[in-house]
Amino acid sequence: MKMAKPSSRDIDAGGELLALLDAIDERWGGPWPIHGAPEDLAKFLHDEDESFDSDNPKHLQVLYNHLAKLLRTAPNFHGRVLGGMCYVICWDKNQILDPALDHLELHPDILAGLRLLATQRADFLPMLEREARAAVAQTIEAAAARHLSEMQRS
């Protein structure tokens, strides 16, 4: 399954949503709920057998309470999720996504690095062992040569 790459309008909208959630989340300890209003919008609408109505103050209170609950439950999740996606992963200068594609896929340089890592990983421990054995053998040879030289001098 492939996910479409966000457009610049999508990223701007994500940034605006991030700012709106920040505005709700300004209070220390997160936003407090409106007492007497439920905190789960989907459950509330299902229980009431209604669709969301932006003209209904009760619906707006439940929406606010649900957002406030999210902001208290996972403080700054919106900064990490929206900000991380919009301003880190999708930022062309970070070269995380392939700029030539219209869907989310890793940058070709990252894919090449992963392929290189995969080929090197298989030989990583054996290579360390070869290098360690060679270093030990070289140290032994140098010590033996030094010892023989010292024996010949005395």
Q: Where are the domains of the chain?
A: 107-154
Chain centroid to CA 84 = 7
- Phi first, then psi, for residue 82 (nearest 5°) are -70, -50
Cα torsion 131, 132, 137, 140 to 10°: value is 140
CB neighbourhood size of 44 (10 A): 20
4 by DSSP, 3-state: which? Answer: strand
Written as one string, the DSSP assignment of 7-36 is PHHHHHHHHHHHHHHHHHT-STT-PPPPTT
pTM higher than 0.95: no
In sequence order, the β-bridge partners of residue 103 are 4
Summarised one tens digit per residue, pLDDT across range 103-133 is 999 999 999 999 998 888 888 889 999 999 9
- Digit-coded pLDDT (tens) for 46-90: 999 999 999 999 999 999 999 999 999 998 999 999 999 999 999
CA–CA separation, 103 vs 91, rounded Å? 14
Q: Which two tokens stand for residue 112?
A: 């090449």
